A and B are shown apart, each in its own frame.
Chain A
Amino acid sequence: MTLRIEIEDLAKHFGAIKAVDGVSFSVRKGEVLGFLGPNGAGKSTTMKMITGFLAPTRGTVRVCGHDVLTDPISVKACLGYLPEGAPAYADMTPDGFLRFIADIRGLTGADKKRAVASAADRAQIKTVMFQPIETLSKGYKRRVGLAQAILHNPPVLILDEPTDGLDPNQKYEVRTLINEMAHDKAIIISTHILEEVHALCTRNVVIANGQIQFDGTPSQLEAMSDYHNAVCVSVANIDGNAFTAFLNGLDFIAKVETLSANRGFRIYPSNGRQITLELAQVIRGNGWEIDSLYAENGRLDEVFRTITMGATGSLRSSI
């Protein structure tokens, strides 16, 4: 079975508010789906419906082939879930908490011991295993929640903002952990940290106002940026106007922008193609000396803003 999560026309209405309104997508084994969107876009609500915590107003969710409405226990058994804010039982220790989860997950004896030790090891909470969870820092609490989610090595992982509240080192560790697990799981991660799009995800779904605005790869998402494949170049001892005029005459260049102090230029390609090599050749061919030259990938924050502010409408790309 390659399709691990199948969501069709999922909706959740709270009275007149349409928190989620007709969302459909699926996630395969080996995919890490980054669920992006502004606060209140419906990310958490969608995740709560996938995990069977919230009953949908409309639509279906199937996890590992089980329908969440008719067989919620089977769905819950095959997924690990880190709820938003990583709630846990504050008066328990991570050790007691993880052993409780292991019990409920049906692990016993040596399997249980091994699962708890391995989850604690991978989430790096071994040093705090016997302190009450309420005394732990935000970062440790988050990792206790993460340990709980991966404890039974589930085929499907749903993580609601797994790196929220972590310092840069901890973020790195958590991303490494998720990348390590990615090959044999289907993972959904919600985040609004855009750097995670490349660090973690093989695919992105952007949601705003309860509807999917984009569904594609991180590169496709970046390609939507105006800056995608733009080249920044600075050239020694140059007459800015002559250089600009020369570049504007080339057919693979759409626009030239002068950056600070007349020394740097940002050059936008026509049709969004890669022009780095061609550009370097023509500049050198004219006897100019290149100080530096690099291509931009595209600015995700700009794309994110454009998509979620609804200016471009639905930009759903083909997969």
Chain B
Amino acid sequence: MNMRNIWFIMKRELSGYFATPVAYVFIIIFLLLTGFSTFFVGNFFERGEADLYPFFSVHPWIYILLIPAISMRLWSEERKNGSIELLMTLPVSVFEAVLGKFLAAWAFTGLALLLNFPLWITVNYLGTPDNGVIFAGFLGSLLMAGGFLAIGACISATTKNQVIAFVLSLIVSLIFVLSGYGIVLDFFSGWAPTTLIHAISSFSFLTHFDAISKGVIDIRDMLYFASVIMVWLFANAIVVNARKAD
């Protein structure tokens, strides 16, 4: 694998975000949503605790909505306007292209996440939070965003239509989150064997993200997200190879 190629593809993709208003619109909406839900849904002040739990706990839901909006164009746009033929006849491998594009989207999401730093300053000004836990929260959120992006990137390669890519990614992301949610698990808990329930809930982003965002940096949760990303990116490369010329 040629790291330079990955870097150049990532750079080109990232500059593409900022060539149009898409990047700015996305970042503003992301910040508005996180800010709004932290203070009004998560009751940041009323809780009276110096942490960012209300902030992080809404991330899965915000990502479900916003990440497909970033990932939908990754491959379907290339397929629609034919530039995929150009990209795939340059001396780069499919996996280099897949990684480069994914990393660009991930870096962009990371930037949007980072721009929430005023919240971190606020909570440090108001009290004395455990900054290690907050760091873990950012790390977990970034890993989870990578998981959503990998799902969206793979789905984006299956269609030339960005709207279809958006809707499908949203639904698959929702499944990956809901499988750890109380209501879904309650539905199974009456009759299904506990191993199955554990299996379902262990597949959920929520289960693993919750642990990390509470400050428990367990290598297994990290590995979970890393493997979700790798599996979906691998599938992404297969889909690109199979569908690029359609």
Residues of A near any B CB (own CB < 8 A):
48, 51-54, 73-74, 76-77, 79, 81, 83-85, 87-92, 96, 100-101, 103-106, 132, 148
Q: Which parts of B1-29 form the interface with A (CB within 8 Å)?
A: 4-5, 8-9, 11-12, 15-16, 19-20
Residues on the B chain within 8 Å of A92, using CB: 12, 15-16, 19
A91 touches B93 (CB 8 A): no
Q: How far is the CA of A100 from the CA of B12 in the complex (A)?
A: 7
Name B90's contact: one of A54, A76, A91 (CB within 8 Å): A76
CB of A63, distance to nearest CB on chain B (Å): 11
CB of B25, distance to nearest CB on chain A (Å): 15
B89 touches A76 (CB 8 A): yes
Q: Tell me whether B245 is interfacial, beta carbon within 8 Å.
A: yes
Name B86's contact: one of A83, A105, A106, A132 (CB within 8 Å): A83
Q: How far is the CA of A77 from the CA of B89 in the complex (A)?
A: 9
- Shortest Cβ distance from B88 into A: residue: A53
CB of A42, distance to nearest CB on chain B (Å): 14
B90 touches A85 (CB 8 A): no
A87 touches B82 (CB 8 A): yes
Residues on the A chain within 8 Å of B43, using CB: none
Q: How far is the CA of A103 from the CA of B4 in the complex (A)?
A: 8
B81 touches A87 (CB 8 A): yes
- Shortest Cβ distance from B13 into A: residue: A89
Q: Tell me whether B172 is interfacial, beta carbon within 8 Å.
A: no
Residues on the A chain within 8 Å of B200, using CB: none
- Shortest Cβ distance from B82 into A: residue: A87
Residues of B near any A CB (own CB < 8 A):
4-5, 8-9, 11-12, 15-16, 19-20, 81-83, 85-86, 88-93, 244-245
7 contacts between A and B (CB under 8 A): A52-B88, A79-B89, A81-B86, A83-B85, A101-B90, A103-B8, A104-B90
A104 touches B5 (CB 8 A): yes
A48 touches B15 (CB 8 A): no
A85 touches B92 (CB 8 A): no
Q: How far is the CA of A103 from the CA of B8 in the complex (A)?
A: 7
Residues on the B chain within 8 Å of A52, using CB: 88-89
A104 touches B91 (CB 8 A): yes
The 9 A-B residue pairs whose C-beta atoms are closest, nearest first, are A87-B82, A77-B91, A76-B91, A103-B8, A91-B19, A83-B85, A51-B89, A87-B83, A81-B89
Residues on the A chain within 8 Å of B93, using CB: 73
A54 touches B245 (CB 8 A): yes
A89 touches B91 (CB 8 A): no
Task: Classify the interface of chain B: helix, strand, loop or mixed.
Answer: helix
CB of B103, distance to nearest CB on chain A (Å): 16
A148 touches B8 (CB 8 A): no
Most B Cβ at <10 Å: residue of A51, A73, A74, A88: A73
A96 touches B15 (CB 8 A): yes
Q: How far is the CA of A83 from the CA of B81 in the complex (A)?
A: 12
Residues on the A chain within 8 Å of B20, using CB: 91
B16 touches A53 (CB 8 A): no
| 13 more CB-based (< 8 A) A-B contacts, given A53-B88, A81-B86, A148-B86 | A48-B245, A52-B89, A53-B245, A73-B91, A83-B86, A83-B89, A84-B82, A87-B85, A96-B15, A101-B90, A103-B4, A103-B11, A105-B91
Residues on the A chain within 8 Å of B86, using CB: 81, 83, 87-88, 148
Residues on the A chain within 8 Å of B12, using CB: 89, 92, 100
Q: How far is the CA of A92 from the CA of B18 in the complex (A)?
A: 11
CB of B243, distance to nearest CB on chain A (Å): 12
B82 touches A90 (CB 8 A): no
CB of A264, distance to nearest CB on chain B (Å): 50
A53 touches B91 (CB 8 A): no
Residues on the A chain within 8 Å of B91, using CB: 73-74, 76-77, 104-106
With A54-B245, A100-B12 known as contacts, the answer to whether A89 contacts B83 (CB < 8 A) is: yes
With A76-B90, A77-B91, A91-B16 known as contacts, the answer to whether A100 contacts B8 (CB < 8 A) is: yes
Residues on the B chain within 8 Å of A88, using CB: 83, 86
Residues on the A chain within 8 Å of B8, using CB: 100, 103-104
Residues on the A chain within 8 Å of B9, using CB: 104
Residues on the A chain within 8 Å of B88, using CB: 52-53
With A53-B245, A54-B245, A100-B8 known as contacts, the answer to whether A83 contacts B82 (CB < 8 A) is: yes
Residues on the B chain within 8 Å of A54, using CB: 245
Q: How far is the CA of A74 from the CA of B2 in the complex (A)?
A: 13
Residues on the B chain within 8 Å of A51, using CB: 89
Residues on the A chain within 8 Å of B244, using CB: 53
Most B Cβ at <10 Å: residue of A81, A89, A103: A89
CB of B101, distance to nearest CB on chain A (Å): 12
Residues on the B chain within 8 Å of A73, using CB: 91-93
- Shortest Cβ distance from A49 into B: residue: B245
Q: How far is the CA of A23 from the CA of B83 in the complex (A)?
A: 27
Residues on the A chain within 8 Å of B81, using CB: 87, 90
A48 touches B90 (CB 8 A): no
